[in-house]
A and B are shown apart, each in its own frame.
Chain A
Amino acid sequence: DAGVTQSPTHLIKTRGQQVTLRCSPKSGHDTVSWYQQALGQGPQFIFQYYEEEERQRGNFPDRFSGHQFPNYSSELNVNALLLGDSALYLCASSLLALMNTEAFFGQGTRLTVV
């Protein structure tokens, strides 16, 4: 079992550009959540997807959007990048039936906006 895999591992983008980050959940999991971890801080919840729909959203602007595919994999899209979007983006997968009793995290994508 490969666990949760994210790609790419590192990314450098210019202000104003758009970026897409990808996540494959742990085998058997149906729910994907995305978190942003700024340097020196704890992860902040962006949103969660289940059955290809956004179930809940954190306090992030509409520039952040996502998608979940029928195979449960997910993408996070960020438009009009700002310097403040530089962070580690973490994907977590879980089983909806277990709520948040067992969430597995990927190693993250380090996004640098210059």
Chain B
Amino acid sequence: AQSVTQLDSHVSVSEGTPVLLRCNYSSSYSPSLFWYVQHPNKGLQLLLKYTSAATLVKGINGFEAEFKKSETSFHLTKPSAHMSDAAEYFCVVSEGNKLVFGAGTILRVKS
């Protein structure tokens, strides 16, 4: 079975500083990996996806993630945090017909 582990339940950064949200995956084959964001009282929005093409994936709103097979990691980064980035972020792996979500990381951005 595929699974993902988000290493931090909460991350706090200052506005304008870099963001790093960590995710490790477990998969018996080359996985499809995603990052979704969930703002309060809103649905899940796809930030970016990795489907065995380029290992560095660029997403919306300046986010990107790098697939590292040797480290089984898919960390999400952004060079400069904005107040509007405050939300909960989910690392997700595809398993057949379903998506398997991590427990989530709540990102807090301080002014």
Question: What residues of B have a CB within 8 angstroms of the CB of A100 in the complex?
Answer: 32, 94, 97-99
9-residue interface stretch from A11-19, A38-46, A67-75, A77-85: A38-46
Q: Name B83-104 residues within 8 Å CB distance of A.
A: 90, 94, 96-104
Question: What residues of B have a CB within 8 angstroms of the CB of A108 in the complex?
Answer: 43
CA A106 – CA B43 in complex, angstroms?
5
Q: Name B7-26 residues within 8 Å CB distance of A.
A: none
**Cβ of B51 and Cβ of A45 under 8 Å apart?**
no
Distance between B40 CB and nearest chain A CB, rounded to angstroms = 11
**Cβ of A45 and Cβ of B99 under 8 Å apart?**
yes
How big is the B interface, by class?
20 to 34
A interface vs B, CB < 8 Å? 4, 33, 35, 41-45, 48, 55-56, 58, 90, 92, 99-108
Distance between A57 CB and nearest chain B CB, rounded to angstroms = 9
Question: What residues of A have a CB within 8 angstroms of the CB of B36 in the complex?
Answer: 105
Question: What residues of A have a CB within 8 angstroms of the CB of B99 in the complex?
Answer: 33, 35, 43, 45, 92, 100, 103
**Cβ of B101 and Cβ of A55 under 8 Å apart?**
no
**Cβ of A101 and Cβ of B32 under 8 Å apart?**
yes
- B46 proximal to A (CB < 8 A): yes
Q: Name B39-62 residues within 8 Å CB distance of A.
A: 41-46, 49, 51
Distance between A55 CB and nearest chain B CB, rounded to angstroms = 6
CA A103 – CA B32 in complex, angstroms?
12
Question: What residues of A have a CB within 8 angstroms of the CB of B100 in the complex?
Answer: 45
Digitize B75-88: 1 where CB-to-A-CB distance is under 8 Å, 0 elsewhere. Answer: 00000000000000
